[in-house]
């Protein structure tokens, strides 16, 4: 797949086919992703791949915590404490596009909650991934991990697979650490669903808009 096509065509996939992904393919994706740049070649990433019974165990634990109303305990602050323009409008448009594709109204909280719970099942993808970072590392290493995670998503497309990066899977990190035996010295960055996209499902039909480069770029010294 052409690299530009891989980038422009990538989208967060929220429904997957019941079709297994081999360990060999997952390994090849990570083998390619490891060539992401990192400051002084620190390579500060750690990945947990979960499938089958282990994935189901994690999903059950997350769903139970969510349905019981347990407070979310992310290892870091992902979103701003107060939304502001234009981020607030983009967030609103994103939600409207998602639920609009499913025909769910703004006031149908039960249906929206059901859609949200799919996050904790990795959207029924056959593979889930967790990305971790040593708590001693600073912002630059988080940037490095972002480039590594993007590489995973692009490499997956080279194998005919799609992904969805998930902040939701970092909402109950202690549950994942306990089940996977990950040290408390590691913070959970995010999860990711990986598999073959179900393009017939309406949840995969919507797309979010992207800003024109003129809205975020200044050129200096160029005509």
Q: Domain with 99 in it: what CATH number?
A: 3.40.109.10
Any domain includes 215: no
- The single residue listed with the structure tokens 């590489």 is 151
Q: For residue 60, what pLDDT band results from cuts at 50, 70 and 90?
A: very high
Distance set, CA 63 to CA 12, 109, 127 (Å): 21, 17, 17
Peptide bond preceding 86 in cis form (omega within 30 of 0): yes
Which structural domain range is residue 194 located in?
3-207
Read off the pLDDT of residues 83-111 as tens digits, 9 standing for 90 and up.
999 999 999 999 888 888 888 888 888 98
Per-residue pLDDT at 100: 86
Any domain includes 120: yes
> Rounded CA gap, 126 and 168, in Å?
17
H helices within the chain, ranges in order? Answer: 3-9, 23-33, 52-67, 87-101, 109-117, 139-157, 173-180
Any domain includes 152: yes
Contact 166, 192 (CB under 8 A): yes
Per-residue pLDDT at 40: 98
Read off the pLDDT of residues 113-172 as tens digits, 9 standing for 90 and up.
998 999 999 999 999 999 999 999 999 999 999 999 999 999 999 999 999 999 999 999
Work out the percent of the chain whose per-residue pLDDT is above 90: 88
Residue 100 φ/ψ, nearest 5 degrees: -65, -40
Any domain includes 213: no
Split into its structural domains, the chain has a count of 1
> Rounded CA gap, 26 and 152, in Å?
9
Any domain includes 212: no
Any domain includes 142: yes
**Residues 6 or more apart whose Cβ sits within 8 Å of residue 190:** 130, 131, 149, 165, 166, 167, 169, 170
């Amino acid at each position: 797949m052409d690299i530009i096509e891989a980038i422009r065509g990538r989208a967060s996939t929220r429904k997957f086919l019941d079709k297994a992904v081999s360990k060999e393919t997952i390994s090849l994706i990570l083998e390619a992703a490891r060539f992401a740049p990192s400051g002084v070649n620190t390579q500060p990433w750690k990945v947990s791949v979960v499938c089958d019974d282990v994935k189901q165990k994690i999903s059950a634990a997350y769903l139970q915590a969510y349905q019981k109303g347990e407070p979310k305990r992310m290892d870091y602050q992902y979103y701003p404490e107060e939304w502001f323009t234009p981020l607030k409008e983009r967030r609103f448009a994103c939600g409207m596009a998602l639920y609009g594709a499913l025909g769910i109204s703004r006031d149908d909280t039960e249906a929206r909650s059901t859609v949200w719970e799919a996050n904790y099942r990795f959207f029924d993808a056959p593979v889930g991934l967790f990305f971790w970072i040593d708590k001693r590392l600073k912002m630059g290493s988080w940037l490095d991990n972002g480039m590594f995670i993007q590489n995973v998503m692009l490499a997956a497309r080279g194998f005919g697979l799609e992904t969805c990066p998930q902040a939701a899977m970092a909402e109950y990190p202690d549950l994942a650490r306990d089940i996977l035996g990950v040290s408390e010295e590691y913070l959970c960055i995010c999860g990711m669903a990986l598999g073959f996209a179900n393009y017939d499902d309406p949840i995969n039909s919507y797309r979010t808009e992207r800003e024109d480069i003129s809205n975020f770029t200044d050129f200096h010294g160029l005509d």
